Structure 1
Amino acid sequence: MVNIITGQDLVDIIQEGQVKAFTHFYTLFFQKLLLESDKYVKDVAVAEELVQDVFMKVWESPESLEDVRSVKSYLYRSVINASINYLNRQKNIEQHHQKIAADYSEEYLMELDEENRLVVLLRIEIEKLPPQCKKVFKLNRFEKLKYREIADLLDISERTVENHIANALKILREALLDKKNIDKESKPFQKIVTLYLY
């Protein structure tokens, strides 16, 4: 294979479908580029993926290389940029996760735990509803279907849907209000009532 000096040389190889020549070119540079990427990302698997992505872009869009004077320089720059971009993304993700974790105060976690407990209690009570009433309530509250959509789906009247919802709400509110170990004034309780029982 002739030494590739310019981008146009590589464009010609790709456009002419010379897969064997491109594979040789890929093999020639892959390990070197892998080592370069690994200097930045410190993870061979990630480095491999980044280098492969660079080659994939070259193969899929060879026209972007037409004015490139040195393919070697282009590839090194592309891999280094891809590695730095990867690190920046990881840093942003880590900072985002740290911010979320910092926002999880003890009070917030206690409220979250109580909210989840109430959802479990509510779901237990929902399962006790009459079958058709339960089905209608779930379609409306969990799958967000409108009354008309539920009526069409179950082949019942919209009025029947309204009656099932009203019946479900009455039963569920009473069931939760009757429970002794629930703080009816708490934010989690008010949130659950707002989400599911209005």
Structure 2
Amino acid sequence: MQAALDRWFIDEILVHEGALVRYLQRCWSRRDEIHDLRQEVYARVYEAAAKSLPTQPKSFLFASARHLMTDRLRRSRVVSIEPMGDFEPSHVLVDDVSPERWCGGRQGLLRLAEAFDRLPDRCREVVWLRRVEDLSQKEVAVRLGISEKTVEKHIAKGMRLLADHLHGSDDVRTPKAATVDRRDGQQRAD
């Protein structure tokens, strides 16, 4: 079986080496990593083919390369949480906050809580799930049984209403639209 897999790899995968290298050079900015990427793609393809031969080897090769680059980009964005040196708690100034600043922070928090409580019910629920519980837009939509577009609209409306309240508007709820009565042409609030 090993010899058959090696023959398949040579005939179906290695024949695309030039195209693979050009693809990696076009998509990957760090030129010094191209050969490592190529080898890792080959290793992934070979391991996968040992389990089951792909029906479209060339497509599988390039899809594997694209997935590898995506994985590397994700890993490069992860921030290390390892300490950079000795951390002594004595260097942290906890009592640095003045009473005025502390009180101002409390007042701002109370104002935000008040504005949040005044949001329309569904809007408040969507904003809470998305911004506080940090669920994705899709997760919020699934949990509440609404479309992602509706989640977007509630978030936009909620953020606008919160900002309006925090920047001076008295009422967070959207004012009801005035309509014109067709019978007498007078404007009335709904």
TM-score (norm 2): 0.39
Q: Which structure is higher in helix share?
A: 1
Mark the structure with the bigger radius of gyration.
1
TM-score (norm 1): 0.38
